[in-house]
Amino acid sequence: MASLIPTSQSCRELLTELELLQPTVRQSVRSITLSRSMMWSDEAGNHLRPALHLAAVLLDWKELEAITIAMPEDLTAGQKETGDHDYWSWTLHRRLLAAFTQGRWQEIRLVHPTTYTDPNIFLYHNIKYVEEWILPLEPQRLLGIRRSHYWNTLDAGSHRQPASRERVNQDCEHIWAERGIVIQAENPGPGEMGTVLAVRWRAPWIREYRQAATTFPIPKPPSLIPWQLLSSIEVPPFLQLLPQWRVALCREHGDCFTQDDLGHHLIHHHGATEDESTDVCFSSPIQELAKTWKDVVHPQHRITAIPCLQVIDGYQCTDIFCQFRTATMTSWISHCRKTGHSSFEMKKSRMFCQTLSSCPTNVRYFAVYPLDDFSFPLADDQKNIKDLRRLQGSEDACG
Ligand SMILES: [Zn+2]
Ligand SMILES: [Zn+2]
């Protein structure tokens, strides 16, 4: 595999370096290394825009199969506090790791600056970031429960016998494997150092299955939106109208807007001018939407999650006449205390939820079925291929 180890020190420099790459060289490259200095958020060449732009270019690069990306010193496994986390930019990680879930990469290599001796990598601090960007919500929740059980037994006041670290690590590894993914600590390769955590698909067919199951939208950085090409009847490509709820969803920022608050968002988050924003807001599709949040229709019953809106692991009141829903355990408990509802039935009260707007005054949670919850059997892979083919066949038959 031809790897590219760039000499550039910042995202902006790397963008230029890639632009100058000969087409033949570009086509031969299969992996690239993103160095530590590219994650320094206090460096102007790494600010949000160049980082988003670089992520889009890498995702769009057909021949690229693997990414090596620098990680800060791990807060659990590292021997010393280096302050790395304080200035670390996660923009590239967030975009590139999220694409792994869709089968975009064969492998992601997470490079740490020093060599760690603890073999229980699933208890490392940095793995939690990886988890959040790669795994669906349900396994994230299982991993969170498994780990917090373990940490709780380590508390001085706990009466329970702590499980062994190895055992907890194994359980976490198992949860990842069910989702088709392995993570292994490896020796550093060329251009790498310290502890390398390699994230891979368990088998090529699993990756292919994920690719087939997910379409792959390349996120465009704000600077590449062709404002001048939008006519008055068109809405920008990142906006999706949700007529049944009477709002417009910004897929880039995962938030919904009414006629009145859309203009501000376009100017401050998408680089539109006053005139461009006015053109969009007065276009006929936007005029069909609610003017203010008073006129918005919020989903009442459980629906399939709306793509691009964040899904939250929340709580609902189990009293049949009560509409109370919240994102935090403390407010759920205080509701139960005040009203006598739910009698603290934790299991029944958990629900995945979304809200159309994240603005505190407009937040209204509704229950959803998570969209993309995938898992793969752990037994013999040959048999699984047959099972999946059968499954795919029956899905096709259903149309
Ligand atoms: Zn937006
Ligand atoms: Zn209630």
- 200-229, pLDDT tens digit by residue? 999 999 999 999 888 766 555 555 556 665
Fill in the DSSP letter of residue 293.
Answer: G
pLDDT value of position 213: 83
The number of the ligand nearest the C-alpha atom of 322 reads 2
pLDDT band at 73 (very low <50, low <70, confident <90, very high): very high
Distance 320 CA to ligand 2 centre (A): 8
Please tell me the number of the ligand nearest to residue 318's CA. 2
Per-residue burial over 67-86, b if 16 or more Cβ lie within 10 Å, else e, is bbbbbbbbeebbeeeeebee
Q: Which ligand is nearest to the CA of 252?
A: 1
pLDDT digits (tens, 9 = 90+) for 92-136: 999 899 999 999 999 999 999 999 999 999 999 999 999 989 998
Percent of the chain scored above 90 by pLDDT? 50
Span from the CA of 141 to the centroid of ligand 2 (angstroms): 24
- Find the 266 Cα to ligand 1 centroid distance in Å: 7
State residue 200's pLDDT score. Answer: 97
| Residue 369 alpha carbon to ligand 1 centre in Å | 24
Q: Closest-lying ligand to the alpha carbon of 269?
A: 1
Mean pLDDT of 46-57: 89
Instruction: Give distance in angstroms: CA of 341 to centre of ligand 2.
Output: 5
Instruction: Give helix 11-19 / helix 48-60 axis angle, nearest 10°.
Output: 40
Q: If you measure from the C-alpha of residue 100 to the centroid of ligand 1, how many angstroms do you get, rounded to a whole number?
A: 23
> What does the pLDDT read at residue 252?
79
Ligand nearest to the CA of 272: 1
Ligand 1 mean position, distance from CA 55 (Å) = 18
* CA distance readout (Å), 126 to 84, 85, 182: 12, 10, 16
The pLDDT, as a whole number, for residue 394 is 46
Q: How far is the CA of 345 from the centre of ligand 2 (A)?
A: 12
- CA 352 vs CA 250, 253, 355: distances in Å: 21, 20, 11
CA of 277 to the centre of ligand 1 (A): 12
Q: Which ligand is nearest to the CA of 340?
A: 2
- Cα(360)–Cα(366) distance, integer angstroms: 15
Contact indicator for 241, 289 with CB cutoff of 8 Å: yes
Top-confidence residue, 268 or 4: 4
Least trusted range by pLDDT, from 61-65, 159-163, 314-318: 159-163
Each as own residue / partner, the long-range contacts of residues 173-179 (CB below 8 Å, 24 or more positions apart, any chain) are: 173/122, 174/378, 175/139, 175/142, 175/143, 175/146, 176/122, 176/135, 176/139, 177/202, 177/378, 178/139, 178/375, 178/376, 178/378, 179/135, 179/136, 179/139, 179/374, 179/375, 179/376
Given this model, what pLDDT does residue 289 score?
95
